[in-house]
Amino acid sequence: TGTLTQNNMEFIECCIDGFQYKHRGASSELDGFCVTDGPVNKLQQKAGREKEELFLRALCLCHTVQVKESTEQDQREDSLDQVDGLRIDENVLQPPQKERGFIASSPDEIALVKGAMRYGFTFLGLESKTMKILNRNRDVEMYDLLHVLNFDPVRRRMSVIVRSGSGEMLLFCKGADSSIFPRVRQEEVERIRLHVERNATEGYRTLCVAYKRLSEEEYAQADAGLREARLALQDREEKLLAVYNQVETGMSLIGATAVEDRLQEEAAETMEALQRAGMKVWVLTGDKMETAKSTCYACGLFQRKTELLELTVRTLEDGERKREERLHELLGEYHKRAVQDAPPVKAGGTRVRFASNQDYGFIIDGASLSMVLNSSSESNMRSYKDLFLQICQNCTAVLCCRMAPLQKAQIVKMVKSSKGSPITLSIGDGANDVSMILEAHVGIGIKGKEGRQAVRNSDYAIPKLKHLKKLLLAHGHLYYHRIAHLVQYFFYKNLCFILPQFLYQFFCGYSQQPLYDAAYLTMYNICFTSMPILAYSLLEQRISIEDLIEDATLYSENAKNAMLRWGLFLYWTGLGAFHGLVFFFGVRFLFSNPALQDNGQVFGNWSYGTIVFTVLVFTVTLKLALDTRHWTWINHFVIWGSLAFYVFFSFFWGGIIWPFMKQQRLYFVFANMLSSVSAWLVIILLILLSLLPEILLVVLRNPRGPYTRKMKHRLPSSGTSTIFMLSQTASTHSFSWSD
C-alpha cells in the first residue's frame, strides 16, 4: 500500500485512554487538543491530562528521528529521501530556535513527532545520548537514552528505554495493534480497539503506543540481557529478539495514532490499466487489513460489486474448532465459489463472461498464509497451496496484509513455480520490499521516501507509480516487438546468407570452395547488416505510444508471446529459404548464357559469388526497410548508409593491390561486374523478385502482426521520442501473467 500512496504522512488524530482527540487547527488553544468524547468531570480531566502528557512524551521519545537545522537552500528545495521541512504554526508553542527539519528512516516517525509538536510537545534533538523535549510550559525536559529496541518487520514494533530527570526508568513502545495488544493488559485493549478499527476502515495508518515503568532490578536484568545478546558471536539476532520479547511484556496501553497517507496521483488509473492489460494484481503489505482494504477500494482494485473472500485469523476462529479444520473448510468453500462455479474457458484462453458473473477478491493475512505454507501435514500443505493458488488466479485482485518481507518473497516464489510458470513483476519503494523484488522475474523500485534500497536492488527504477503504466504498456510492448523482430530477423538474414553457400557445394565438386570472399564472410554480420537492425530494435514504433497507453488491451497480446510463436518463426524461416534459393538459382539461371559481359567474356567464380552477395545485402536490408513503420533520420542514415558503405567497401577492397595479401581474389571484380548491363539487370530483377511477396503484403492488406487485428492505429510521427529507463542494478505490488 505504501507503493500506492505518496508516503507524505499527516497526523490526523489520536486516541488516548479510550478518548478521541483531534487537532483544532489554527484557532485552537495552546495545547491544540479537541476532545470529542473526553472526560467530563475535573478529576477525570486531571487524570486524562496526565495521560495526554505521557502519550505525547512517548511520541517525542520513541523514535529514531534526528533534528536538522534548515538552511535557505533546504527551505527552497523539495527534500529527496527522508528530509521533511518543518514549518510551525504561529498559534502553537515552539522553541525560540531556527527553523528545523526532521530526518528519519520512515515518514511515519516524522508525522508523529510533528503531531506531538502541534499539541505542545516539541522534540529538540539528541545530544550525547540525551534526548531533549520542550513541554507545554516551555520547560525543557531531558531524558537519558539507555537502549533502543529497533523496529523489525517480524516484531512490528520498536521501543526505547529512557531515564527521566528524576531517575525514573521508562520503556516506551509503539507498533502495530496486532503486535501491541497481546503485550498489554487486556482490559485496556477494548477501550482503544474500536478507535483503531474505525481509523483503519477510513484508510488511516494506525499505531498503538504503550509504556512500562521499570524498577532498578528490571532494568539491570534487561540491560545485562541486551548487552550479552549484542556481543554474541552466534545467533545474535535470535538472542536479541528473545530479550526484546522478554522486556516488552506487561506494558500499559496509552493510546493510538491515526496518520493519513493519500494515494499517489493516477494510482487508480494505473491499476485499472494494468488489469485491462490482462495482469493479475496482488497487493502485498505489512499494513493492517482494514487500512489495506480501504486503499484497495480507493485505487479501484476492489469494486463495490466485488465479493471479498477473507482468510484471516478472525475468520479462522470458530469456537472449539481447530484452526486447521476451519482453514480446510474455508479453502474448500472459496474454491467452489471462485473456481468450480466459474464460467467456462474458451479455446483462446479467455473466460466466458455472463451478465451475472461475480467478481471475487481474496484477502489473506500473514498468520493464515503461514498455515497455508507450513501445514503440519505435507499432503495437506500441497493441497492447501494448490487450492490457494487456484482461488487467487480466479480472483480479480488479491490482498495479502500483515506480511513480513520473507512472506512477500515466498508468495512471489510460489506464483513463479505454479502451473504455467507465469511471469511475475514486483514493485516496491522500501527496504521491506527488497526480498520480493529480487525474487520476481522483473523487479521495479520506486524512488520514494523510504530510502534507496528498493531502487538499488531493482532492474528498473521509476520516480512514481504512474510511470509504471507507460513503462509496461508502452515501452514494454514496444521492446517486446522490437526484440522479437530482431530475433526472427537474425535467423532470416543468416539463413539467406548460408543457404547459397551450402547449395554451391553441390556445384563445385564438394571441394569446400567458398562462394563469398573472406572479407565478405567476416563483414556481413559485423558491418553490412548490423546497424539497420540495431536502429530498428531501438526506435521502431509499430503503434504510437499514445495509442498503447490509451488502449491497455493491446498489451495482452504480449502475454501470449504472439511474436515468438512457431507459426511466425516458420514464416521467417520459409522466407529466408525462399530468398536464398532465389539468390543462388536466379544468378545461376541468368549465368547460363556465357556472354554476360559487353565484350563477350564470361564472369568467373568470384564474380558469380559477388553478384549473389550483392543481391543478398540489398534484399535483407530493403526487407527491413519494408518492415519499418516509424522512420527517423537515424533509420534513413543506417539503412541507406549501410548499402552505400557496402558499395564503397567493395570498390575500395577490389580496387587496390594490397601488399600483405598473397592472392587477391576480388581485384577489380566489383568494378568489372558493375560495368556490365547484364549484371545490373540480374541484380535488380532478383531483388524485386525476392521482395515481391513482401511488397504485395504491404500494399494489399494491413501490416502483418497480431496488434493490427484489433484496431487501426495511427502511426507515430517521426518526432516522437522513446525513453527507456534502466537502473544500475512496506508496501508492494506483485503482478503475474496467467495464460
Binding residues for Mg(2+): 1, 429, 433
Q: Sheet containing 66-69: which strands, arranged edge to edge?
A: 66-69, 100-103, 83-85
Detail the residues annotated as belonging to a binding site: 1, 109, 151, 174, 205, 285-287, 402, 408, 429, 432-433
Rounded alpha-carbon distances, angstroms, from residue 626 to 407, 692, 700 = 50, 11, 14
CA-to-CA distance for 410 and 421, rounded, in angstroms? 15
Question: Would residue 170 be called left, alpha or beta, if left means φ above 0 and alpha means ψ between -120 and 50 degrees?
Answer: beta
CA-to-CA distance for 447 and 189, rounded, in angstroms? 38
Q: Which set of grid coordinates corresponds to residue 212?
A: 512500562
CA-to-CA distance for 219 and 227, rounded, in angstroms? 12
Helix (H, G, I), strand (E, B) or coil at 73: helix
The DSSP bridge partners found for residue 257 are: 14, 207
CA-to-CA distance for 661 and 654, rounded, in angstroms? 12
Q: For residue 174, which of 270, 231, 248 has the smallest C-alpha distance?
A: 248
Q: Please check whether residue 399 is in contact with residue 292, taking contact to mean a CB–CB distance below 8 angstroms.
A: yes
Question: Would residue 348 be called left, alpha or beta, if left means φ above 0 and alpha means ψ between -120 and 50 degrees?
Answer: alpha
Q: Sheet containing 157-163: which strands, arranged edge to edge?
A: 33-35, 19-23, 10-16, 252-260, 205-214, 169-175, 157-163, 140-152, 130-134, 122-127
Sequence-separated (6 or more) residues with CB below 8 Å from residue 416: 422, 424, 439, 440, 441
Detail the residues annotated as belonging to a binding site for ATP: 1, 109, 151, 174, 205, 285-287, 402, 408, 432-433
Q: For residue 440, which of 412, 417, 415, 476 has the smallest C-alpha distance?
A: 412
Q: Please check whether residue 608 is in contact with residue 587, taking contact to mean a CB–CB distance below 8 angstroms.
A: yes
Helix (H) or strand (E) holding 14: strand 10-16
Q: Please check whether residue 95 is in contact with residue 124, taking contact to mean a CB–CB distance below 8 angstroms.
A: yes
List own/partner pairs for 81-90 with CB under 8 A and 24 or more apart: 81/449, 81/451, 81/452, 82/106, 82/107, 82/110, 82/449, 82/450, 82/451, 84/110, 84/114, 86/114, 86/117, 88/117, 89/26, 89/118, 90/26
Q: Please check whether residue 607 is in contact with residue 669, taking contact to mean a CB–CB distance below 8 angstroms.
A: yes
The string over 259-293, giving b where at least 16 C-beta atoms fall within 10 Å of a residue's C-beta and e elsewhere, is bbbebbebbbebbbbbbebbbbbbbbbbbbbbbbb
Q: For residue 564, which of 486, 510, 452 has the smallest C-alpha distance?
A: 486
Q: How many residues belong to the chain?
A: 739
